[in-house]
Amino acid sequence: GAGVSQSPRYKVAKRGQDVALRCDPISGHVSLFWYQQALGQGPEFLTYFQNEAQLDKSGLPSDRFFAERPEGSVSTLKIQRTQQEDSAVYLCASSPAGASGRALHEQYFGPGTRLTVT
């Protein structure tokens, strides 16, 4: 079956522009996660959805970052007024189980969107 897909794969934005990054999780996966991966580093947690509910957004670095998953499937990560420090790969992952399931830990990642802010 299809894995997690993300679009666009690459995005170049001028400083100050708004961007929107899309994630299509694996069909039927309840949980969805966004991570930010700086060059040469491991992914860092941004936010987590269970269905359409955003249960944790503690990793969002500033109020310029906003994520939504209105129908409990596709998710969008929006970054307003982009800054150079926002340049990174943004990874989306999905998981089949909700908070009560041990399988929640098994996250399946998409290929990421590489954002470059100039």
Partner 1 sequence: QQQVKQSPQSLIVQKGGISIINCAYENTAFDYFPWYQQFPGKGPALLIAIRPDVSEKKEGRFTISFNKSAKQFSLHIMDSQPGDSATYFCAASMGNNDMRFGAGTRLTVKP
Contacts (CB under 8 A) with partner 1, residues 39-98: 40-45, 48, 55-56, 91, 93, 98
Among positions 31, 75, 82, 94, the unique one binding partner 1 when judged by CB under 8 A: 31
Burial readout 86-109 (b: 16 or more C-beta within 10 A, e: otherwise): bbbbbbbbbbbeeeeeeebeebeb
Q: Which of 112, 70, 110 is nearest to 94 (CA)?
A: 110
Query: Please, which residue, 18 or 106, has the CB nearer to partner 1?
Result: 106
Using alpha carbons only, what angle is made at residue 9 by residues 39 and 79, rounded to the nearest 5 degrees?
A: 75
Binding piece for partner 1, criterion CB under 8 A, among 13-21, 37-45, 67-75, 80-88: 37-45
> Around 73, how many Cα atoms within 13 Å sit in the side-chain half-sphere?
6
With contacts defined by CB under 8 A, how many residues of the chain interact with partner 1? 25
Applying CB under 8 A, the residues found at the interface with partner 1 are 4, 31, 33, 40-45, 48, 55-56, 91, 93, 98-99, 104-112
